[in-house]
């Protein structure tokens, strides 16, 4: 086991398509929520009268690293304004959340866990020396209230107890005080044990529960990695055991688990909540850093390059609550929705379809992914995720120029004042690996960089498209970390309105996506021919994808799910061809907002 440490936003700089993606995010919803969404703009966290629980901490958890990665002075100042206000309202005993003293035992302290996690992010980006003391007083107060029984974990705090360990570990590394270990024990004792509820994951229910809630589960996967050290427990890779159960009974082609809003089985027409994408990505980042096991980095890539862009509009002003593998329309359901525990508008692209948690929380996904490009341990540095980035510290410089995952070539420029070992993780699917024009092999390349040395490393490999079997005798096309889908062309129906005092207006209005092309296809050839083009200003463009796969298909009588006219049937009504073969271009899943991803082979 090799524990890697994260670099900060002051040391990592996004380049190429990754920088473009972050700039789109800053110009879209993430960078503007504090200007137009009352739950952020007028939150109780900053003295207002709107939501005073999870939404401001959620938003800041992504807005802060986004601001610092882009060196955007306006965004940095706005983040500080929020942090200053939150700190100013901290009580003398350390309580920091916006509720009356007499209401503390009824206030779900998931918010305590979340705001301390967010404050650690702010410190790592800003080096604001006020923050460690703010976290210290908050956690000390939390410990005393839990220890003497004035409060206890319930609901979300009970389900997400491990989230507090980000701040606990941060503080323990600084002060090493024993009460932090006691706090850790209390949280685990009062928190949910997910190993006890796995039978519930094997048969989806149309019933809302904390222990099958997909976001809780996405967060939970990192629980052992963040807690075992301070609890003095042995690491057992429990996440892998739970991952296998989730994948077997609820897996999707893009590495997610269905959850609309709770676990939903293996059907390609069930959905997955966007918050779960962001949290599952963060769990995999933590798991790779803690274990050094390449499986978590590879799973992270699949989520980041497929599930994340698929469920957010090209301009990042709107997003879905739920995405589906086979999603032929995003039209408000006139009656009962297909989702198990979500509502009629959950798959629309909008400001806050179904519920506003994802509006605030999706912001962390791209920035934290960018911060996972390089990691370090002693005199070793690893390029954990090979995306275009630059690392610059006091004594070393590494630049990676690439268009991965769209193209599989990489140019590294490495400079060192002091010697170090540079490692590069190679994906397990890589074929015909070359290093500086010479054949190579292995999933980890290692280079000794001498003091004062400057080195250029050119790496290339192939990734071959292939069919992967899915349940119900369906199939998905994959190539490297990318999943491919039959794209469905669409027209947008813009919906501008106000509900419960929340205004939706362009560009943060809601959109229905209405299909205008055929979708009822089956593959009729084993030929998969990959075509690559330039990465445009929108990396995961729904109009001009940077990579496609050409193949042949025939139409079949697929049919609609019983009771619906905008949801395809779970499985085709017939697998007999009803047309001649035609060539089509498959799009990356992340580019295809409407798509058929799991389909038969004739």
**pLDDT tens, 186-222?**
999 999 999 999 999 999 999 999 999 999 999 999 9
Task: Report pLDDT for 375.
Answer: 98
> Which residues, in sequence order, are bridge partners of residue 529?
550
Contacts of 512 (CB under 8 A, 6+ apart): 329, 330, 331, 332, 348, 492, 493, 495
Measure the N-to-C terminal CA separation of the chain; round to a whole number of Å.
45
Q: Residue 571: its pLDDT value, please?
A: 98
Q: Answer whether 230's CB lies under 8 Å from 180's CB.
A: yes
**By the 8 A CB rule, do 350 and 330 touch?**
no
Percent of the chain with pLDDT over 70: 100
Which residues have a Cβ under 8 Å from the Cβ of 104 and sit 6 or more positions away? Answer: 95, 145, 150, 151
Q: What is the DSSP letter of 212?
A: G
> Which of 250, 243, 234 minimizes the C-alpha distance to 195?
243
Decide: helix, strand or coil at residue 356.
coil
Q: Which backbone phi and psi does 367 adopt, to 5 degrees?
A: -60, -45
DSSP code of residue 517 = S
> Torsion over CA of 588, 592, 593 and 594, rounded to 10 degrees?
-130
| 3-class DSSP assignment, residue 12 | strand
The Cα–Cα gap between 40 and 52 comes to 9
What per-residue confidence (pLDDT) applies to 226? Answer: 98
Where are the domains positioned within the chain? 31-191, 466-596
Q: How far apart are CA 368 and CA 443, in angstroms?
A: 24
pLDDT in tens, 262-288: 999 999 999 999 999 999 999 999 999
Cα(110)–Cα(108) distance, rounded to whole angstroms?
6
pLDDT 10s digits, 449-495: 999 999 999 999 999 999 999 999 999 999 999 999 999 999 999 99
Residue 345 pLDDT: 97
Q: Which two tokens stand for residue 389?
A: 């980035």
Predicted local confidence at residue 435, as pLDDT: 98
**Who contacts 170 (Cβ-Cβ below 8 Å, separation ≥6)?**
120, 123, 135
CA distance 572 to 600: 8
CA dist., res. 343 & res. 339, Å (int): 7
Q: What is the pTM of this model?
A: 0.98
Whether residue 293 is preceded by a cis peptide bond, meaning omega within 30 degrees of 0, is: no
Distance of CA 508 to the CA centre of its chain: 21
pLDDT given at position 2: 57
Which residues are within 8 A (CB) of 468 and not within 5 positions of it... i.e. 6 or more apart? 253, 475, 476, 477, 478
Following CA atoms 517, 521, 523, 525 in sequence, which dihedral angle do they give, to the nearest 10 degrees?
-60
pLDDT digits (tens, 9 = 90+) for 29-85: 999 999 999 999 999 999 999 999 999 999 999 999 999 999 999 999 999 999 999
What is the rounded CA–CA span in Å between residue 426 and residue 550? 26
Mean pLDDT across the chain: 97
Q: Where are the beta strands (DSSP E) in 321-429?
A: 322-324, 374-377, 380-383, 389-392, 396-402, 409-416, 420-425
Band of residue 3 on the pLDDT scale cut at 50, 70, 90: confident
The pLDDT tens digits for 77-115 are 999 999 999 999 999 999 999 999 999 999 999 999 999
Q: Per-residue pLDDT averaged across 320-347, rounded?
A: 97
Place of tokens 């509006």: 359
The CA R_g of the chain, rounded to the nearest whole Å, is 24
């Amino acid at each position: 086991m090799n524990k890697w440490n994260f670099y900060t936003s002051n040391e990592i700089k996004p380049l190429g398509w990754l920088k473009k993606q972050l700039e789109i995010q800053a110009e879209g919803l993430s960078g503007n929520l504090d200007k137009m969404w009352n739950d952020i703009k007028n939150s109780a966290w900053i003295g207002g009268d709107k939501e005073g629980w999870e939404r401001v901490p959620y938003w800041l958890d992504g807005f802060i690293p986004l601001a610092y990665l882009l060196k955007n002075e306006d965004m940095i100042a706005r983040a500080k304004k929020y942090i200053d206000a939150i700190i100013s309202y901290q009580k003398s005993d350390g309580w920091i959340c916006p509720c009356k003293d007499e209401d503390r035992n009824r206030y779900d302290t998931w918010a305590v866990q979340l705001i301390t996690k967010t404050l650690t992010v702010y410190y790592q980006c800003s080096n604001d020396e006020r923050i460690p003391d703010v976290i210290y007083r908050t956690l000390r107060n939390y410990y005393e209230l839990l220890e003497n029984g004035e409060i206890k974990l319930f609901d979300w705090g009970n389900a997400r107890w491990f989230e507090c360990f980000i701040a606990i570990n941060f503080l323990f590394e600084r002060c090493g005080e024993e009460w932090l270990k006691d706090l850790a024990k209390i949280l685990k004792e009062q928190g949910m044990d997910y190993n006890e509820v796995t039978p519930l994951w094997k048969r989806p229910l149309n019933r809302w529960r904390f222990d099958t809630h997909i976001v809780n589960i996405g967060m939970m996967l990192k629980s052992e990695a963040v807690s075992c050290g301070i609890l003095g427990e042995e690491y057992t890779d429990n996440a892998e055991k739970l991952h296998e159960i989730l994948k077997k009974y609820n897996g999707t082609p893009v590495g997610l688990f269905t959850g609309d809003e709770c676990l939903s089985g293996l059907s390609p027409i069930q959905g997955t909540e966007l918050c779960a994408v962001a949290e599952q990505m963060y769990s995999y980042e933590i798991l790779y850093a803690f274990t050094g096991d390449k499986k978590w980095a590879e799973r992270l890539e699949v989520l980041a390059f497929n599930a994340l862009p698929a469920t957010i509009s090209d301009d990042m002003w709107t997003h879905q609550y739920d995405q589906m593998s086979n999603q032929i329309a995003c039209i408000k359901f006139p009656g009962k929705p297909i989702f198990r525990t979500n509502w009629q508008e959950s798959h629309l692209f909008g400001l806050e379809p179904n519920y506003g948690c994802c509006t605030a929380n999706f912001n962390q996904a791209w920035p934290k992914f960018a911060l996972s490009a390089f990691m370090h341990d002693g005199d070793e540095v690893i390029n954990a995720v090979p995306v275009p980035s630059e690392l610059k510290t006091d004594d070393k410089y590494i630049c990676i120029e690439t268009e991965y995952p769209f193209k599989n070539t990489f140019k590294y420029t490495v400079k060192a004042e002091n010697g170090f070992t540079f490692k590069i993780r190679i994906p397990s699917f890589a074929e015909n690996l070359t290093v500086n024009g010479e054949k190579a092999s292995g999933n980890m390349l290692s280079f000794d960089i001498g003091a004062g040395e400057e080195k250029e490393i050119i790496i290339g490999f192939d990734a071959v498209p292939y069919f992967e079997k899915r349940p119900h005798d369906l199939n998905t096309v994959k190539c490297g970390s990318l999943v491919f889908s039959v794209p469905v062309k669409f027209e947008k129906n813009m919906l501008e309105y106000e509900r419960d005092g929340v205004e939706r207006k362009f560009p943060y209005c809601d959109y229905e996506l209405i299909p205008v092309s055929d979708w009822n296809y089956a593959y009729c050839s084993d030929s998969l021919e990959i075509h690559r083009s330039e990465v445009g200003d929108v990396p995961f463009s729904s109009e001009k994808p940077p990579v496609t796969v050409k193949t042949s298909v025939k139409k079949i009588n697929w049919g609609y799910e019983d009771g619906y006219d905008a949801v395809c049937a779970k499985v085709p009504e017939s697998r007999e061809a009803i047309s001649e073969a035609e060539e089509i271009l498959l799009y990356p899943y992340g580019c295809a907002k409407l798509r058929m991803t799991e389909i038969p082979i004739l």
